[in-house]
Amino acid sequence: MTEERTVLLERIATCVARGKVNEASKIPPDMAGQPGAVELVRQALDLGIEPMTVINEGLSVGMRRVGDLFSQQKAFIPDMLLASRAFTAALEVVKERFNFGEGDARGVFIIGTVLGDLHDIGKNLVAHIVAGAGYHVVDLGVNVPPERFVEEARKYEHCAVGLSTLLTTTMPNMEKTVKLLREQCPQVPVIVGGAPVSDSFASRIGANARGEDPRDAVRWLDETFSPA
Ligand code: B1M
């Protein structure tokens, strides 16, 4: 089982890294006719592998791999796009089983990727997992201007805001967003996250917390919304 599990997770990572969505995908040509990320994720879940393990040790590993190849100029933007297509399609399979759900009882969580940044896979994962934990999630999407977060936060008496960014170049926009939220809605707690965001950056820009991953965001929301 352990070896089968390792092999399967590695195959899932390879499918994502190479943009192999499903068996019918013709890309990449050397994998034609083979199962893709969708079928392999289904197999992994049937084998009893935990959904979060499939995400962290399969899908996300593939994504990191294509990112590393991009850094080395051995992969290009179309490769990253194909990989994100495979990741997103396979995540749908996980969602069917994991019951991410739609909460509305525990509090409102407004989330978005900051202005200038189009990366949404990590942000979507956080949104799904927070919703599955029972929060009402308002997803503002990508490339969200600071004013849009403020506009949405003003609609709710109690809410928290989550900001995501993957680019070092858009970290200043995260800072601007936190600053505007602090000025316009000082009572709204803010969590920031994404690969380039460190604890020290989060505290320097005045965010209440930094999330390493979606679980961190849930833990923080649980503390933030729990009655005193
Ligand atoms: Co882009 N890209 N990309 N990209 N891309 C990165 C981020 C990069 C690291 C690749 C590299 O150089 N190795 C690099 C950034 C370098 C930097 O700034 N330091 C990069 C670049 C440079 C770019 C462009 C500028 C390329 C160009 O045009 N020359 C361009 C920017 C476009 C723009 O946004 N304006 C660009 C474009 C793209 C695509 C559109 C092709 C595609 C995105 C598709 C999409 O998102 N729909 C893409 C992709 C896929 C990537 C990589 C390969 C994968 C990102 C990803 O989805 N990871 C990425 C390389 C890498 O990550 N190694 C890369 C999987 C995801 C699950 O992880 O998003 O980190 P992640 O989210 C994690 C945590 O960070 C955390 O939880 C998630 C789950 O664990 N988290 C939070 C995230 N948000 C959180 C919020 C929280 C809490 C936790 O609370 C609120």
Give the atom of ligand 1 at the shortest distance from the alpha carbon of 212.
89
Tens digits of residue pLDDT in 37-91: 999 999 999 999 999 899 999 999 999 999 999 999 999 999 999 999 999 999 9
Q: How far is the CA of 156 from the centre of ligand 1 (A)?
A: 30
Interval 167-210: pLDDT, tens: 999 999 999 999 999 999 999 999 999 999 999 999 999 999 99
Last residue of a domain, one of 67, 100, 133: 100
Tell me the CATH number at 80.
1.10.1240.10
Which residues span the domain enclosing 94? 2-100
State whether 109 and 198 are in the same domain.
yes
Q: For residue 126, which amino acid is it?
A: V
Residues 64 and 123 in one domain: no
Q: Which residues contact 170 (CB under 8 A, 6 or more apart)?
A: 114, 115, 116, 117
Residues 93 and 109 grouped into a single domain = no
Q: Are residues 25 and 110 in the same domain?
A: no
Q: Where are the beta strands (DSSP E) in the chain?
A: 108-113, 136-139, 159-164, 190-193, 209-211
| Closest atom, ligand 1, to C-alpha of 216 | 88
Q: Are 86 and 11 in contact (CB under 8 A)?
A: no
The domain tally of the chain equals 2
Regarding whether 178 and 119 lie in a shared domain, the answer is yes
Task: Confirm if 138 and 110 have CB atoms less than 8 A apart.
Answer: yes
- 138 in the same domain as 164: yes
Domain boundary among 73, 100, 127: 100
Residues 121 and 218 in one domain: yes
Q: 119: CA distance to ligand 1 center in Å?
A: 5
- Of 100, 125, 146, which one is at a domain's C-terminal end? 100
Q: Burial of 33 by CB count in 10 Å (0-12 exposed, 13-18 middle, 19+ buried)?
A: exposed
Task: Assess contact for 162 and 211: CB atoms under 8 A.
Answer: yes
